[in-house]
Structure 1
Amino acid sequence: MQHPVKGIDHCFALVDDLDSAAAQYRALGFTVSPRGLHSASKGTANHTIMFPDDYFELLGVLVPTAANAARRATLQTMKQGLHAIACRIASAPDAAAALGAMGIATQGLGSFSRPVDLSDGSTGVAAFSTVAFTPDDTPRGIVFMCAHDTPETVWVPDLLSHENTAAGLGAVVALSDDPATDAAGFARLWADGSVTAQDGTYTVHTGVRSAPLVLADADHLGAYYAGIDLSGTTRGAFTALRIKVHDLSAVAACLTRAEITATATPAGLAISPEHAAGVLMEFIPT
């Protein structure tokens, strides 16, 4: 069987307050989708920030339920921030079967849907099937797989244009005590997973038209994001999200209007996690 995982589909931030997080991302110049309510049993809701090939999700708990107890425990022990990567697959059942044949365990196979407010005033349905890698196969954070049954109600054209000119996920960045080992562990989760190392930083390439995963230790990541307090990010998951933009000056204008001070990085501009619901957000040129 061929390896079924073809890249990063999206990633999500688990946040303390969904309304506050959405307001923060609007202030950064992103077009934020209307709130998507999940089932009563899930007790959660989300907002998405859509790009042509991938997207970023804000996920929050609205009502405590048995189904979201793990999410609530995660927020309490690990803090809000960038907690999960969703991998690109065609079918969750097929992916689980193929990975099992390769000796990679999975868990939580299932499907769900949520209503979507469409631009014409009507309501559609976004439907997904998902399956997750086990913690033993995931060096940090949550890594699961997502198949879209209704991509037309997720990639809504009105949501693809952003004032800050954002165009896609540039990279997911993680602070790691052992980045070489973690990078090797992550690489086996993608069909085209491979690792390159440079100056103490390890990059996991995840596929065509897919953001890489970058891992570095505290010294290297602290030097790269000099002046930003990394302790404001989640513990044990992912640290920063790089966003590709067409025009850094448009980003700067949004940040100035929001009275947010940007920090220059070797690749672009970054903002502290307190301005982005626990995510260190970096904007880089396309």
Structure 2
Amino acid sequence: MAVTAQPLILDHAVVGVLDRLDEAAAVYRKLGFALTPRGYHTLGSINHLAVFGENYLELLGFPPDSNGKRADLWSYPTGLNGLAFRTADAASLQRELGEAGKPVTEWRDFSRPVDVGGTQKSASFRTFQIGKEAISNGRFFFCQHNTPDLVWQPRDQSHPNGVLDIVDIFIVSRAPQTLTELLGGFANTVAPEITRDGIAIHTGIVTLHILSEANATSRFGLAIPASFDGNERKVALGLKVRSLQVTADVLAQGGLSSRPFEGGLLVDADAANGVALWFKE
């Protein structure tokens, strides 16, 4: 039964880099991503984005001299540690989910400056978390874009590696029911699908794959983080590309090794700041 008319749609995936944003950005440029200029949030965090057609990847960290700002980010491992889902109205969604018994935080507003043709404008957001105490090694949250045109700019959406969108997210979980309960009840979701590896939740163009440790190891081997504390860890992204040959050429030019994987190419988590990247057409 739906508890809200709002759909569950991935907005962006967060790759946490702690205080090593310079190093992470250099790696992702070698991987063929065209990154936006560094952003400075009013909350104290800093970022670069790889903006795609429907969603984006965010490298998120904080300055070495942050003096305790965004101290929450210190507690998460590097790698894929945040999934942001889109909402047109964070306040109403937060209220609806709370009334349905889902654990949500209060929403908060923040912004960052963006240069548009030499003019500085303010990209602003409203976010809240769901399952803060239940989720290990990161967070699930909802993001309202007040100024989406300042994020999805055509100049930023063409990548040398040909990536078009995030289409898969892989989560290793010891408590899959916790995740299915948190993410159930949205207007566009149906019953989770039981697959050969575990559970699949379809959210627009993106599929969330919830895998057991054994199934994840069987499928990905040593390409994903091998251990974690808590109930789950987000370990891999599936990325749709225009041409695998173009992707392979760009990875080779960047000096990064990849291997064939299920009709695509896989870059190990150790080479991509803690998250395995599966490039596929």
TM-score by length of 2: 0.90
How much does 1:195 deviate?
0.9
Q: Secondary structure at the match of 2:273?
A: coil
Q: 1:189 to 1:139 in 2, by over 3 A?
A: farther
* Letter in structure 2 aligned against 1:27: K
> Unpaired segments of 5 or more residues in structure 1?
none
Q: Distance in 1 between matches of 2:170 and 2:157?
A: 23
- Tell me, yes or no, if structure 1 residue 126 matches structure 2 residue 127: no
Residue 61 of structure 1 corresponds to which residue in structure 2? 62
How much does 1:189 deviate?
6.2
Aligned ranges 1:191-202 → 2 under 5 Å:
191-193=187-189, 194-202=191-199
CA contact (8 A) 1:187 1:205 kept: no
Residue 49 of structure 2 corresponds to which residue in structure 1? 48
Residue 25 of structure 1 is aligned with which of 28, 49, 52?
A: 28
Residue 89 of structure 1 corresponds to which residue in structure 2? 87
* Letter in structure 2 aligned against 1:254: V
Deviates more, 1:255-264 or 1:188-197: 188-197
Aligned ranges 1:108-257 → 2 under 5 Å:
108-118=106-116, 120-136=117-133, 138=135, 141-179=138-176, 181-188=177-184, 190-193=186-189, 194-206=191-203, 208-209=204-205, 211-226=206-221, 228=223, 230-231=225-226, 236-257=232-253
Deviations 1:137-185 (A, max 9, x none): 5476310000110011000110011111100011111112344x24523
Residue 260 of structure 1 corresponds to which residue in structure 2? 256
Deviates more, 1:153-162 or 1:123-132: 123-132
* Letter in structure 2 aligned against 1:218: E
Q: Distance in 2 between matches of 1:122 and 1:55?
A: 23
Residue 72 of structure 2 corresponds to which residue in structure 1? 70
Aligned-pair Cα RMSD in Å: 2.2
- Tell me, yes or no, if structure 1 residue 283 matches structure 2 residue 265: no
Q: Secondary structure at the match of 2:127?
A: strand
Q: Distance in 1 between matches of 2:228 and 2:21?
A: 17
How much does 1:260 deviate?
1.6
Q: Distance in 2 between matches of 1:260 and 1:234?
A: 29
CA contact (8 A) 2:173 2:233 kept: no
CA contact (8 A) 2:173 2:210 kept: yes
TM-score by length of 1: 0.88
Identity of aligned residues (%): 28
> Unpaired segments of 5 or more residues in structure 2?
none
